[in-house]
Amino acid sequence: MEEKLAKIKEWLGTGSINVFGLPMSGKDTQGIRLAEALNAKFLSSGMIIRAMEQETKQSLTSTGQLVPTDLFYAWVLPYLERKDLFDYPLILSSIGRWYGEERQVLSVAAGAGHPIKAVVLLNVSESDVIKRFDAAKLLNDRGDRNDDRDKEVFNVRLQEFRNKTMPVLNFYNEQGLLINVNGDQSRDAVFAEMIEKLYQKAVSNDA
């Protein structure tokens, strides 16, 4: 795997990889692991937005809906342009979830020296993420998150993904950026498949 990681690093440079998936699909878990493997910096739109909600004493995501695009632009996109991240590749977790935001994300990322080289979709069915949600509630391992507080809110998040995020992923697919990974397997297997497919993309770039 080290040889494949070295090839991915060479191909990626200071570019970025955007990881998407349904809630509970493991995108932050896999994104953090990928960032560590590639000596990259990890940025999660969800983490940034929750921090900004706390700072501004707002509760915009408590209903399960995505934050308005103007706030996403104001709160999240500036992170792509941070000078302390300039020399690093970036692993992004669902940066630009609402259809229409993806073009601005591509533009800002490229302008900041972090062009998006690939978009990874962790494919997990809605029925499986609901099972994961139920298990997480029993274990109480998701912390005090407003958007995870009950099943009704979680179902809204699933609907938001279907209606607003799937068109984003269709756009990335049309651009030749989308990589599909089976998210319904062990964490190690998901990571291995993600590395293999990123490696194949890196190799194909040389062809």
Kindly report the three-state secondary structure assignment for every residue of the chain. Answer: CHHHHHHHHHHHCCCEEEEEECCCCCHHHHHHHHHHHCCCEEEEHHHHHHHHHHHHCCCCCCCCCCCCHHHHHHHCHHHHHCHHHCCCCEEEECCCCCCCHHHHHHHHHHHCCCCEEEEEEEECCHHHHHHHHHHHHHHCCCCCCHHHCCHHHHHHHHHHHHHHHHHHHHHHHHCCCEEEEECCCCHHHHHHHHHHHHHHHHHHHHC
Name the burial class of residue 15, with classes exposed (0-12), middle (13-18) and buried (19+) by CB atoms within 10 angstroms of its CB. middle
Residue pLDDT tens, the chain, 207 long: 899 999 999 999 999 999 999 999 999 999 999 999 999 999 999 999 999 999 999 888 888 999 999 999 999 999 999 999 999 999 999 999 999 999 999 999 999 999 999 999 999 999 999 999 888 877 666 555 555 568 899 999 999 999 999 999 999 999 999 999 999 999 999 999 999 999 999 999 765
Predicted structure pTM score: 0.92
Q: Name every residue whose Cβ is closer than 8 Å to that of residue 200 and which is 6 or more positions away in sequence.
A: none
Beta-ladder partners of 78:
none
Q: Which residue has the tokens 């697919």?
A: 173
Q: Name every residue whose Cβ is closer than 8 Å to that of residue 196 and which is 6 or more positions away in sequence.
A: 4
What single-letter amino acid sits at 115? P
Domain 2-201 CATH (choose: 2.60.40.2550, 3.30.1360.200, 3.40.50.720, 3.40.50.300): 3.40.50.300
